[in-house]
Amino acid sequence: MNIAAQAPHPFLDGKPKKLLIDGKWSDAITGTTFPSISPVDGSTLADIAQGGVRDINLAVSAARKAFEGPWSKTKPFERQAMLLRLAELVERDFHDLATLDTLDMGAPISFTSGRKTRAVGLLRYFASAVMMINGDTTGNSLPGDFFTYTLKEPVGVVGAIIPWNTPVTAAIWKLGPVIATGCTIVLKPAEEASLSSLRLAELAMEAGIPPGVVNVVTGPGDTAGAALAAHTDVDKIAFTGSHFTGQKIVQASARNLKRLTLELGGKSPHIVFADANLDEAAQGAAMGVFVNSGQVCAAGTRLFVERKIYAEFIERVADLGRKLPVGHPLDPSTQIGPLASSAQLERVTSYLDLGASEGARPIMGGARLTEGDFAKGYFVPPTLFADVKDNMRIAQEEIFGPVLSAMPFEGMEELVERANSSIFGLGCGVWTRDVTKAHTVARAVRAGNVWVNNYGAMDVQMPFGGYKMSGYGRESGRESLEAYLQTKAVYLRF
């Protein structure tokens, strides 16, 4: 796992990282910090301010003050210009942002840097969306003369709680609509990957976004995150993360009945019919779960293969998986880096043991890598379990690791029922040359995203979100903006 000595990252200057509240960088009130740990070797990358309840209170007050101040009077042109400036800065510094994520949570640099178009595109999309925020003039059947119309207004102070798997774009997913609609934000990044959110906040200030509009409080989920979710002066929580935490956020938000958007986990079916282009399908099935080591909410983790090609097809997928270079995430040829944290390593390896004990057959991978330098980090190779049964826990629970469960199927009716037999409904992939089969699956599956003859494509103009316990609300696309807006009905009698 050799990697040439890298130039030190400009953001990792040895100084503790601070909270951003009301345009000022400050230590946590308690003065405590927590370490950002390298998943490659367990070393400390930086110390980060450990925000808690009181820091959240300050940040929410700052966000409220900004929301009620001149910010609410900004013209659409001004907010659009800020988003466009931020897009330019993110484009300028994307390599640094991507490298921070790679160092912080271990995703290969080929993956993190490959998200540039998406990150910049999201900001430009929300910049153009500023101009789409309009109410309606409605008809009415009231007696007398009435003019009725609706106004679209920002929902207010938004608490954004994001995960560690795609940190920069997760933060932009929340920041973009906040600025577009004229809301303000308190962003709580994940403990495992806070650095790029802090750097993004610096860029937001450089873009001229006023103090208090963007606040960042780093710290633990069960204190800082929970305080944000419970705070009665927060109008909305935009959350991306596990469904377990999603449930806690729903409960915490009840006190003031906050608006919620929840983008949660998945156990997405990936379906291959015998008539598909099998070379492409095998590549899609492999990368649908092994990209970012499976730490992707929409990963295609349940592979359903038509029985007559099952044995041969899963061998092909395994072959591709075995060839994926595992290594240092900064090495441009690496496809599989370490998992993000020791907790994640523990969780994924416990599922590897569970799969074997449930009677599934690992045809590749199946155990943590421990030779040489790998022993210091959190490396798990691509793993494919064959002969999985629908009711096994490895086929039902979200693992969030490079673990694929393969199962044969016979016919459409049985397939649809099994594909839908999950508490989740985030994604579904289907490979076939038969347009009828493609449409049948696309309609029958209860999932927010369906990919036909591809897996995981995402576009800024398309809504992303889940059915069932994969959450509610949509990110990006027209629908996402609505979640940051109130609608006011005005009756004017004349």
- Whether 263 sits among the annotated catalytic residues: the reply is yes
- Whether 183 sits among the annotated catalytic residues: the reply is no
Type of residue numbered 21: I
**Going residue by residue from 122 to 161, which x/- string records binding to ligand ADP, judged by CB under 6 A?**
---------------------------------------x
CB of 33 to ligand ADP, least distance (A): 16
CA distance 465 to 444: 17
DSSP string, 73-119: G--HHHHHHHHHHHHHHHHHTHHHHHHHHHHHH---HHHHHTTHHHH
Type of residue numbered 33: T
Among 104, 191, 263, 306, binds ligand ADP (CB under 6 A): 191
- Closest to 104 in 3D by CA, of 193, 22, 9: 193
CB of 223 to ligand ADP, least distance (A): 9
Report the site for ligand ADP in 333-392 (rule: CB under 6 A).
none
The smaller minimum CB distance to ligand ADP, of residues 225 and 381, is found at 225
Residues 6+ apart with CB under 8 A from 47: 16, 17, 33, 34, 35, 36
CB 169 within 8 A of CB 113: no
CB 123 within 8 A of CB 172: yes
**Going residue by residue from 208 to 237, which x/- string records binding to ligand ADP, judged by CB under 6 A?**
-------------xx--xx--x--------
CB 164 within 8 A of CB 344: no
- Which stretch in 73-81, 114-122, 132-140, 240-248 sits in contact with ligand ADP by CB under 6 A? 240-248
Q: Which residue is nearest to ligand ADP (CB)?
A: 221
The smaller minimum CB distance to ligand ADP, of residues 55 and 306, is found at 55
The smaller minimum CB distance to ligand ADP, of residues 39 and 284, is found at 39
**Catalytic residue from among 183, 191, 192, 263:** 263
Among 106, 154, 163, 266, binds ligand ADP (CB under 6 A): 163
DSSP string, 450-470: EEESSSS---TTS-B--EETT
Among 26, 113, 128, 242, binds ligand ADP (CB under 6 A): 242
**Catalytic residue from among 191, 297, 475, 482:** 297
Burial class (CB in 10 A: 0-12, 13-18, 19+), 382: buried
Residues that bind ligand ADP (CB under 6 A): 161-163, 188, 190-191, 221-222, 225-226, 229, 241-242, 245, 248-249
**Which residues are designated catalytic?**
263, 297
